[in-house]
Structure 1
C-alpha cells in the first residue's frame, strides 16, 4: 500500500472559542473588540459569570479574556442592577470604578475585584467591603482573570488526569509504538486519551496511527498565550484517530515547522489533567527544555530498552538526562535478546525498576507501515500497554 505524508490544511480565523482554523490559541484575545463583541448575554444567566462594569479599559480586558476561553458573560453597569444575578452567578467580576464604599449584602464567595493598574490604598478597603477573594491588577495579574473565567467554562473533572511519558533507551527501541498503544488501550478501557508527539525530528507520530492525511491541528498550528488552553478547544481542533474501539485525540509534530515550546506543552498537559484525560507523551531521548517540562509533570516515565548490552549502556545515558523524574521511571524491556539477557538483567543494568517484558511481534511493524495500527487485544503490545496504565494508577 502506497502512503503519502503530504498534508495541507486550510487556515481561517474564529475568535471567541480559542480555535483559529486548525490553530489552537489559549488566549486568543486579539480581535475581540467593538464590532466583534466577545461576549453575549447567556440564555441561562445563572450559569455565566456576572460582570459589574462600565464601558472602559477594564470591561474591554474582561471581554477579551472571556473570548479566549469562549465564556459568555452577564454584563451590568452597577451593583444595583447586579442584584438579580448576584447569588447564583458562578463568578462575579467587579470593576474598580463601581466598587462599593459600604459593605455589600449578601456576602458571597468567588468575587474578584478588577483594577486597571496598581490599585490605590483605598481599594483594599473596598475589596474587603465587597468580600472579594482576590484583586486582579491589569496587566500584572491578568493570568488570575483568565484562569477564573476558564474554570467556569471548563469545570475541572472530578477524576484527575494522568500523564505518561515514554522514551526509548536507544534509537529504534519502539517508544512511539508503545506510546500509541497506551493511548489506544486507555480509550478502550472507557477513558479519553490524548497522544502528544514531543519529538519534532521523529517524522510525526500521526504516521504511526495512519493519520497523516487527517485534518486537524499539528504542533505548528498551536499557540498558547497566557499559559492556559481549554481542553474543549483542543477537542475541537485535534484529529481523532486510531481503531474504532480506541479513538485517540492526537497532537503530532508535522513534517515541517516547529515542535512544541515548553510553555505551550505545559498548558496542553495541564488542560488534559484538568479534564481527567490520560495524556501520553512520546519523548525524544534528548528531552531538551520541552521534554523537561513533560518530565516535571509526568506521573510515570517509561523507558523502552531492547534486551541488548549496548541498549542498556545507552539507556543509562538517557536516564542521566531526566533529572528528578528518575524516581518515577520504570523500564519496559523489549525482546528478543540476542544473547539471553533477561528482563531483570536489563533493569538491573539500567538501574530502574522493571515494569515488564514486551516480546517481539512482527505484525505490529507491518500495521504501522500500512497505516492500520490496531494492537490486538491481549496481544503482547496491548498487554504491555495495560501494564503501563496499571502502574500509572498505582503511582
Structure 2
C-alpha cells in the first residue's frame, strides 16, 4: 500500500543518526499535512527517519509492515479518534510495546486521561514544543530499548566466504559469554544452519509467520529448535520455507527481537528486498569476505547500501575470513577498497572448519582454544559489550 509523502522544509539525511547505529524510525499520524510536516521537521533535526500516515488505518498497516520505533499521533483522525488508534496498537502483540506520544489541541485533563488509558505513553498539547517533544520521545525510546533485543545480521559478500559458519559459531559464542537468550535465524538462501548444528527442525519459520500476529514469548519455544548450547534456532522447517517475502522476514525478526535478548541472522545478499528488510532492523551488521578481489566490489556495495538504509558505519563490522591466505590481498588493500576498517581477522584453517562442519559441532565448542574460535570470541565480545548487560 502506497503512503503519502510528508511535506518538509528539510531534506532527510542519508546516513545514521548521531552515533545511534540504525536510525530511529518515527511514524507521524495526522490528517493535517501541514501539522505533520511541522512535527517532521522537529524529528528530522534529530536525524530520525520520519514517515507519515494520514489515517488510523494507514498507520496500523504501516506499523505492522515496517516495525517503526515510535508513533506520534494526533488524537483526532479522519477515520477514528486517537484513543481508538492507541487501543488498536496495543491489541496486537507485535505493536504492543511501541511508544506512542499523543498530540491534541485540547489540554483538558479528560482528554489526557482518555489517551493515557487507551495506551498512549505520553501526551502533549499541539503544537508541541520542539525540545519537549524530542525529550519525551527519547525517554520513551530509551525505556523501550531496555525491553528490546539486539539483532546481529551476518552477511557474506559472496557465496562460499564462510558467513553461515560464522553465524552459527557467533551465536554459540554470544551464549557462552553472556548467558543471555540467543536465537539464530536462518534466512539465507543456502539454509544450512541445521547441518552446521546437527539439528532437525519440526517447526520453523513458516510456523512462526502463521502465528506471528498473536504470538506470545512462550510460544516461541515450540517453534524454535533448541541446541545443546542453549541457542535456539529458527530453521526453515521440515518442508522448507523457500524465499521469504520482505514483509515475512521483517515479521519473523520482529517476533524474535521482542522475545530474545540477542538474535543472530544468517542472511544472503539476494534477494535484495529481504536483505534490506533485515538491515533496516539490524543493530549490527557483519560483512564477511575473504582476501580475494572477487568479493571487494560486492562488499563495497553492501556497505553503501547499508548506509543508505540508515545503518551507521560504526555498527558495521568487516570480517576478513581465511586471512592471511597465500597469494591473497593484504588487509590494507581490503580496507582501502571497501572503505571500512577490518574489525576481525579469522585465520585460514581448512581442516578444522571441514572437521567441524562434517560433525555438525561448531568449533567454538569443540575447539575453543583454536585461533579461529578465539577470533570469533573477540567478535562476540565486541557485540555483547555494545548490546549492554542482559
TM-score (norm. length: structure 1): 0.56
> How large is the Cα RMSD of the aligned pairs?
4.0
Instruction: Indicate yes or no: 2:283 matched with 1:299.
Output: yes
**Structure (1 or 2) with the larger CA radius of gyration:** 1
Offset, 1:340: 4.7
Instruction: Mark the runs of 5 or more structure 1 residues left unpaired by the alignment.
Output: 1-26, 28-61, 72-109, 111-123, 137-154
SS in 2 for 1:322: helix
SS in 1 for 2:279: helix
Aligned to 1:383: 374
Distance 1:305 1:382 in 2: 17
Distance 2:297 2:115 in 1: 57
Instruction: Mark the runs of 5 or more structure 2 residues left unpaired by the alignment.
Output: 1-63, 65-86, 101-106, 120-142
Aligned to 1:195: 184
SS in 2 for 1:302: strand
SS in 2 for 1:286: coil
Offset, 1:207: 1.7
Aligned to 1:133: 116
CA contact (8 A) 2:205 2:241 kept: no
Distance 1:185 1:356 in 2: 14
Instruction: Indicate yes or no: 2:291 matched with 1:322.
Output: no
Distance 1:129 1:347 in 2: 54
Aligned to 2:209: 222
Offset, 1:295: 0.4
Instruction: Indicate yes or no: 2:201 matched with 1:235.
Output: no
In structure 2, the CA distance between the partners of 1:382 and 1:282, relative to structure 1 (3 Å rule), is: same
Distance 1:377 1:299 in 2: 27
Aligned to 1:311: 295
Distance 1:281 1:387 in 2: 18
SS in 2 for 1:267: helix
Instruction: Indicate yes or no: 2:150 matched with 1:162.
Output: yes
Distance 1:314 1:275 in 2: 33
Count the aligned residue pairs: 265
Q: Which has the higher helix share?
A: 2
Q: Which sits farther off after the overlay, 348-357 or 381-390?
A: 381-390
Distance 1:382 1:205 in 2: 18
Aligned to 2:347: 359
CA contact (8 A) 2:153 2:285 kept: yes
Distance 1:320 1:285 in 2: 13
TM-score (norm. length: structure 2): 0.57
Q: Which sits farther off after the overlay, 171-180 or 265-274?
A: 265-274
Aligned to 1:370: 359
Offset, 1:162: 1.5
Aligned to 2:232: 249
1:1-395 matched pairs, under 5 angstroms: 128=111, 131-133=114-116, 135=118, 158=146, 160-189=148-177, 190-199=179-188, 201-211=189-199, 213-219=200-206, 222-223=209-210, 226=213, 229-241=215-227, 244=228, 246-254=229-237, 256-275=240-259, 277-324=261-308, 325=311, 327=313, 328-335=315-322, 336-361=324-349, 362-375=351-364, 376-392=367-383, 393-394=385-386
Offset, 1:384: 2.9
CA contact (8 A) 2:346 2:376 kept: no
In structure 2, the CA distance between the partners of 1:231 and 1:267, relative to structure 1 (3 Å rule), is: farther
CA contact (8 A) 2:93 2:216 kept: no
Distance 1:394 1:126 in 2: 41
Distance 2:202 2:248 in 1: 21
SS in 2 for 1:356: strand
